[in-house]
Structure 1
Amino acid sequence: MTKSLQDLQVGENLGESRWVTIDQPLIEQFADCTRDRQWIHVDEERCRRESPYGQPIAHGFLALSLLPGLLYELISPPGEGYALINYGLEQVRFLEAVRSGDEIRLEAALDGIQQKQSGTLYRINCAARIHHREKPALAAALLVLCAELKP
């Protein structure tokens, strides 16, 4: 169940998203889309031989790119006439490799609210947790602008 942004308080835990599997076909699609086909991501045989992980790992930016969609499982704009707009990122850190086949989910908490001329800016601290691992894949502050749509 999503929470409306208008009802949130700074410091509030927004909850956890569903688990998402980061499988090899998704990694391959991301590699093709971004043209980042380093062997550590796409060459399963070489990874078995040479990688310290023993298998391909996801691009850090793949996990990062999933955060807005997962966040929108947790929050919603205050009404029909509003949109949530990706405004930026702060303090992005890639902390643990996501291996092919791992599942990740978003954990989020509201860190700040700022009124701007274009709408309300929310700073949301996020962690992409890897199922059955202590260390998160990444931590970042997402900046989301809640703006009223005008005809």
Structure 2
Amino acid sequence: MSKLTINTFEEFAEYEGKELGISDYHTITQEQINKFADATLDYQWIHLDQERAKNESPFGNTIAHGYLTVSLLPYLWAQIVTIENLKMQVNYGIEELRFNQPVIVNGAVRLKAKVLSLKDLRGITKAQIEVTMEIKDNKKPAFTGIVTFLYHFNK
């Protein structure tokens, strides 16, 4: 499926209830995990201490922070769809977020997205998107949830 471009509420509404697509895979490196730890001050050893993780962790290596995987949403979402003709876009919320499987260092993830609902709130488009962060060669996803974006289209 190729990347979509959406310019209006009406164009977006054509995809309600439909899968929009799947992003490319992104590999999460130890460097990215370390930088995320610095940005969030979350220095738990299961993310940073590779030697200890190999010996003590049930995963056999370091794992990405769950919130690091969530933070990849905008980057991967932009690979699936481009929303144009906007004054502004606002991240409004995440519901029913469930971390299902950790992402081991050097694991590759991609995003699958489906439009659950669209509402026109007096000119502001409220889009609820079902998201699944898939892990390459793993049956269980890293997470599932529903993200809500507010799009302020130009008239």
TM-score normalised according to structure 2 size: 0.90
Q: Tell which deviates more after alignment, 131-140 or 84-93.
A: 84-93
Indicate the SS of the match to 1:30: helix
Shift of 1:116: 1.7
Does the alignment pair 1:2 with 2:4? yes
8 Å contact from structure 1 (residues 77, 83) kept in 2? no
Residue in structure 2 matched with residue 96 of structure 1 by the alignment: 101
1:1-150 equivalent positions in 2, closer than 5 A: 1-4=3-6, 6=8, 7-8=11-12, 9-79=15-85, 81-117=86-122, 119-148=124-153
Shift of 1:83: 2.8
Shift of the 5–74 alpha-carbon distance from structure 1 to 2, 3 Å rule, reads farther
User: 1:95-136 CA deviation, whole Å, 9 max, x = no partner?
Assistant: 000000000000000000112246100000000000000100
8 Å contact from structure 1 (residues 106, 126) kept in 2? yes
User: 1:1-34 CA deviation, whole Å, 9 max, x = no partner?
Assistant: 2331632321111100111010100000000100
Percent identity of paired positions between Structure 1 and Structure 2: 35
Indicate the SS of the match to 1:72: helix
Indicate the SS of the match to 2:79: coil
8 Å contact from structure 1 (residues 2, 72) kept in 2? no
TM-score normalised according to structure 1 size: 0.92
Question: 2:137 & 2:7 partners in 1: Cα distance?
Answer: 30
Gaps of 5+ in 2: none
Shift of the 3–31 alpha-carbon distance from structure 1 to 2, 3 Å rule, reads same
Question: 1:133 & 1:32 partners in 2: Cα distance?
Answer: 28
Letter in 2 for 1:42: L
8 Å contact from structure 1 (residues 5, 75) kept in 2? no
8 Å contact from structure 2 (residues 73, 111) kept in 1? yes
8 Å contact from structure 1 (residues 124, 141) kept in 2? yes
Q: Give the aligned CA root-mean-square deviation in angstroms.
A: 1.7
8 Å contact from structure 1 (residues 68, 86) kept in 2? no
8 Å contact from structure 1 (residues 11, 109) kept in 2? yes
Question: 1:131 & 1:5 partners in 2: Cα distance?
Answer: 32
Shift of 1:85: 1.8
